[in-house]
């Protein structure tokens, strides 16, 4: 390997925190849709419960955005470990493509959700606190814009899960098939 042998503690912490938040947000987003459907379908779910779930999702989404921007800034200003010797060119290209696609989703998904929330006339509160309104982006409050950006935001869950699966499969291949110590760069307790 070229470069450093392991990611920095900051990069490792951001990696695992953002990964947990992203995967959690995908499944929580689907849960919110079920909750909304139950509330509007006559279930025993109140609109207040739906609003609280959406506000939690929005607050967490902004946290993902901030952490992702920090992670990108860290990535651009700190040296990272090089690729293992013997990696085929297509594997290197695939690794870079998946990583940069993740950055696009980690930043783009919260922004698209924020645009959708800003286009809605419904109020949004950070931490479900009416004294902390979600700052609105300078977009028109328009139901069509809200629906389109909300649909794009919702559809982004599948690419996140696909990239996550590819990322995990590649990491496991490197650990158990190639045995090149790649996984130890992100999991410090493993031997590199």
Q: What is the CATH number of the domain that holds 47?
A: 1.20.950
Structural domain contains residue 170 = yes
Mean pLDDT across the stretch 61-88? Answer: 94
Domain that holds residue 155: 9-185
For residue 105, is it within any domain? yes
Does residue 40 belong to any structural domain of this protein? yes
Of the chain, the percentage scoring pLDDT greater than 70 comes to: 97
53, 31 Cβ separation under 8 angstroms: yes
Q: How many domains does the chain have?
A: 1
In a domain, 99, yes or no: yes
Summary mean pLDDT of the chain: 94
Q: Give 105's contacts (C-beta < 8 A, 6+ positions apart).
A: 22, 156, 159, 160, 163
The verdict on residue 119 lying in a domain is yes
Q: Which two tokens stand for residue 177?
A: 């098939």
For 63-79, letters b (16+ CB in 10 Å) and e give bbbebbeebeeebeeee
pLDDT at 1 over 50: no
Whether residue 2 has pLDDT greater than 60 = no
Whether 154 has a pLDDT exceeding 50, the answer reads yes
pLDDT value at residue 15: 97
The answer to whether residue 192 is domain-embedded is no
In a domain, 3, yes or no: no
Specify if 145 maps to a domain: yes
């Amino acid at each position: 390997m070229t470069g450093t042998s392991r990611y920095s503690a900051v990069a490792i912490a951001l990696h695992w925190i953002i990964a947990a938040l992203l995967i959690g947000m995908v499944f929580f987003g689907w849960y919110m849709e079920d909750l909304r459907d139950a509330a509007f379908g006559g279930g025993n779910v109140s609109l207040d419960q739906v609003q609280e779930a959406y506000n939690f999702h929005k607050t967490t989404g902004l946290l993902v955005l901030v952490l992702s921007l920090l992670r990108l800034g860290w990535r651009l200003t700190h040296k990272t470990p090089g690729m293992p010797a013997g990696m085929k060119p297509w594997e290197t290209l695939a690794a870079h493509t998946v990583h940069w696609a993740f950055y696009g989703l980690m930043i783009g998904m919260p922004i698209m959700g924020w645009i959708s929330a800003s286009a809605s006339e419904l109020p949004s509160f950070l931490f479900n606190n009416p004294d902390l309104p979600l700052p609105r982006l300078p977009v028109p409050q328009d139901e069509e814009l809200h629906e389109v950006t909300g649909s794009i935001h919702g559809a982004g869950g599948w690419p996140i899960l696909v990239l996550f699966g590819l990322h995990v499969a590649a990491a496991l291949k490197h650990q158990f098939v190639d045995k090149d110590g790649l996984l130890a760069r992100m999991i410090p307790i493993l031997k590199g």
